Chain A
């Protein structure tokens, strides 16, 4: 599918995605890469200029937003500020004209599912960010949509809470078997949660694959660079990507030797910046499985890696 704004800016350019039922699928990329526009096209808020959107064999390109039956969690949650938690969650059920007693039962169950029992009569403004996030999730899931769309749903939470919600969301998704399309610019989040990731840049999909595949075998320079730390080696006009943890510090048989410029202690590992004799800069990750690393700026080290770890990049 393709989408242009103002007839000039191409927001999404020939994106084709095939998302499997029950999959946790992430659209990952920097801001302005077209991931949110793609999501909004799936939800029906934007219409693709060309291309079609199918769900379970049904073409929904021309189906109105409110008839698509898709759950959505907005970046800012978009909770109705004038309604209570219970009323927010009940909204989708009410629109589907479900009996009152049934609504009550399902709202209760949905709130229990996200551990918000007891907060039914609160207004969204009286909740913490994490609680609001759960209400948004419950509101989207209570109608049992086959597809759940999430637009950076964890972006506003602090790091600790975000990690906790990552686990919870993943667990919930697996339990309910819902197909989840997740938009994020946070590569760690995408790697941690997804079954598959589509890395997007400038409205195009650069690579689609499982997290390990995206991380270990990046296809383009952009993907290699966007996800994690990377060394790009230029050899005879071709570029290879080498992860910092694939570089070993060796005394003998070094491919390159250099001087440690900086050593950033990261807890589980230390990230070294090494300047080689010919002026190239290398990132090297030393993991602290055993004893603490003891490299300091100024130390001379030898670097080695195996050819198979240096991934050939396209273009």
Chain B
């Protein structure tokens, strides 16, 4: 029947989202992909030629910094994700199982409140805490615990600390939704059948929350490998991530074509990782009957 195949008139409500997606993702990415295979800007420079030189430059890495930057990006992303999960899961579980509505609202506020201040502000706050003359080092030296300041920032440690702080709410919000939908009585049934609290959690709630773990981890990983401000401020000269390298190529080296190639590489690598991760967890949860 012709009527049945006609799209719902409500489908037009998707138009704004589709427009945003095309304007701010498909189009820029297309431009970036095109730029990455030209020697210079093909619009302004008629002599621009097709080339793979920027990809070769990254692959050969004669300066010895590009591969390191890629690994640092992925490492920071991975550690940030794992730490966010370890901090976020217990918090989300506690929130999801909270009986009192008021308590739930208060904790939710506490989780969301940091998101109301900008990333730059929060990163600066961490700088005042972690720097050599910051709160922690000053206190430890005053108490005589240490004699010279601990290297708490201008390195990957400081970067991860600040990134975790920024991205934990994303993890918590994603997980709370999923854990909240798991029937509490399942855990009670497990306990009734002879499982201690921890065992009941591991056997029942944890596997059933795998979809939330998957979604939250992907979100935090994607956000932290593309972070620019926090690694730049917290990492000092010790940390160079791919987004920082891209900014350098655009801002100080005036090489937008190489920057474009780096952007494509970052996207490709993270896509591969996301797909692989998705596959693994989907298989895990498929075995659990959740897929």
Contacts and interface: CB of A to CB of B under 8 A. Distances in A.
Interface in A52-79: 64-72, 74, 76, 78-79
B192 A80 contact: no
A91 B190 contact: yes
Contacts of A43: 192
A12 to B, nearest CB: 18
B189 interface: yes
Which of B183, B189, B192 has its CB near the most chain A CB atoms (within 10 A)? B192
A60 to B, nearest CB: 13
Contact of A95 (B193, B289, B290): B193
Contacts of B51: none
Contacts of A140: 192-193
- Interface range on chain B: under 10, 10 to 19, 20 to 34, or 35 or more? 20 to 34
Contacts of A72: 189, 192
B185 A139 contact: no
A92 B185 contact: no
A246 interface: no
Contact of B208 (A68, A71, A74, A82): A82
A315 B200 CA distance: 48
Interface string B164-189: 00000000000000000001011011
Given A80-B186, A82-B208, A139 B288 contact: no
Given A78-B186, A80-B204, A70 B289 contact: no
Contacts of A198: none
B57 interface: no
Contact of B188 (A78, A96, A125): A78
B118 interface: no
B194 A76 contact: no
Nearest to B210: A82
A266 B198 CA distance: 53
Given A45-B188, A78-B185, A78-B188, A92 B289 contact: no
A64 B193 contact: no
A111 B25 CA distance: 55
Which of B183, B189, B288 has its CB near the most chain A CB atoms (within 10 A)? B189
A139 B195 CA distance: 14
Contacts of A139: 189, 193
- Interface range on chain A: under 10, 10 to 19, 20 to 34, or 35 or more? 20 to 34
B100 to A, nearest CB: 9
Which of A66, A69, A70 has its CB near the most chain B CB atoms (within 10 A)? A66
A248 to B, nearest CB: 50
Contacts of B190: 80, 91, 95
Given A82-B207, A82-B290, A143 B185 contact: no
B289 A123 contact: yes
B208 A92 contact: no
Main secondary structure of the interface of B (DSSP, over half): helix
B194 A78 contact: no
A82 B289 contact: yes
B191 interface: yes
Contact of A92 (B186, B194, B196, B207): B194
B193 A143 contact: yes
A65 B193 CA distance: 9
Contacts of A65: 188, 191-192
Which of B183, B189, B193, B194 has its CB near the most chain A CB atoms (within 10 A)? B193
Contacts of B193: 66, 91-92, 95, 139-140, 143
B148 interface: no
Contacts of A64: 196
A72 B191 CA distance: 10
A66 B195 contact: yes
B279 interface: no
Nearest to B194: A95
A66 B192 contact: yes
B222 to A, nearest CB: 27
Interface string A113-142: 000000000010100000000000001100
B199 interface: yes
A282 B208 CA distance: 56
Contacts of A84: 289
B195 A95 contact: yes
Interface in A225-281: none
A78 B191 contact: no
Given A66-B192, A82-B290, 13 more contacts: A43-B192, A65-B188, A69-B194, A78-B183, A78-B186, A78-B188, A82-B208, A82-B285, A83-B289, A91-B193, A91-B195, A92-B193, A95-B195
30 contacts: A43-B192, A65-B192, A66-B192, A66-B193, A67-B194, A72-B189, A72-B192, A74-B185, A78-B186, A78-B188, A78-B189, A80-B186, A80-B203, A80-B204, A81-B186, A81-B289, A81-B290, A82-B204, A82-B207, A82-B208, A82-B289, A83-B288, A91-B190, A91-B193, A91-B195, A91-B203, A95-B190, A96-B194, A123-B289, A143-B193
Interface of A: 43, 45, 64-72, 74, 76, 78-84, 91-92, 95-96, 123, 125, 139-140, 143
